[in-house]
Structure 1
Amino acid sequence: MLAALLVAGLLALHPVLPQPRVPFVAAPVGSVEPCRIYGSVFLETNPARRGFCFGTVYLEPEEAFADVLVYREDNKLFADKAGFWYLATGPNFADYVLFVTDNRALADFSIQYTDIRSFAGCRRR
């Protein structure tokens, strides 16, 4: 009885305030940083699922103009640096889901695939 009275007195002196509300953010804030994308990646081509993607990418035909040179890894464990991607079989198994567009103006960044592992990575501009 005395313990209940003490707890009620403490709550009266210092009431528990609710936590401030945090707005829900559905999309990444700011621009997409292509140098931070590595690991398993799924490339989405369905325009109806574009809203569920992390960013938009353009497959650059020329290596000189690409923002990221991507090396396709066969094992997900070796895709541990920028430019080393393991292409996932579905969006549920991927770390990043990127929408592939054919319009360069709508893309956040551009990529080009390379067969040489040492060339993979982000191009500094």
Structure 2
Amino acid sequence: MFSFLLSALLAFAPAPAATTVAVPAVAPAGSYDPCKIFGSVYLETDPRRRGNCFGVVYIEPEEAFANLIVFKENNKLFADKAGLWAEAPNREFADYALFVTTDRGQADFSIHYTTVRSFAGCKN
């Protein structure tokens, strides 16, 4: 008798709503704003971890073609505006993890390292 009542209850119950899985939004290439990246940054080179990175960056040898001029700070507290980066020892301690590519076409933006702190920042 119990199985009959359970079957009837299941037969007349409304169908459960389809469950949706939240998929993180992935920004299209070129939509990253390098001017908002500052603080501690970890540069990832392992291609297997590329999907866990904020963006893909190319290290430009020439300053003229870079989107962002970066100065390496020794202390994270001084890396408080665009272009001032403090290298993180691993990705868990970093504010941003960026994948470094050797192909300029696959990069979201490019950077160039400078030795002068006042030159760091976005290029307009």
TM class by shorter chain equals: 0.7 to 0.9
Give distance in 2, aligned partners of 1:25 and 1:41: 25
Equivalence for 1:98: 98
1:28-67 → structure 2 map (5 Å cutoff): 28-30=26-28, 31-67=31-67
Paired AA for residue 108 in structure 1: D
Please, what is the CA RMSD of the aligned residues?
Answer: 1.6
What is the Cα deviation at residue 27 of structure 1? 4.4
What is the Cα deviation at residue 62 of structure 1? 0.5
Mean Cα displacement is larger for which, 30-39 or 74-83? 30-39
Runs of 4+ deviating beyond 6 Å: none
Paired AA for residue 123 in structure 2: R
Give distance in 1, aligned partners of 2:120 and 2:20: 39
Deviations 1:101-123 (A, max 9, x none): 00000000000000000000000
Equivalence for 1:24: 22
Give distance in 2, aligned partners of 1:38 and 1:116: 16
Q: Percent identity?
A: 61
Number of residue pairs matched? Answer: 104
Give distance in 2, aligned partners of 1:115 and 1:56: 23
Paired AA for residue 48 in structure 2: A
Structure 1 alignment gaps of length 5 or more: 1-20
Normalized against structure 2, the TM-score is what?
0.79
- Are 1:57 and 1:101, in contact at CA under 8 Å, matched by a contact in 2? yes
Give distance in 1, aligned partners of 2:25 and 2:117: 32
1:105-124 → structure 2 map (5 Å cutoff): 105-124=105-124
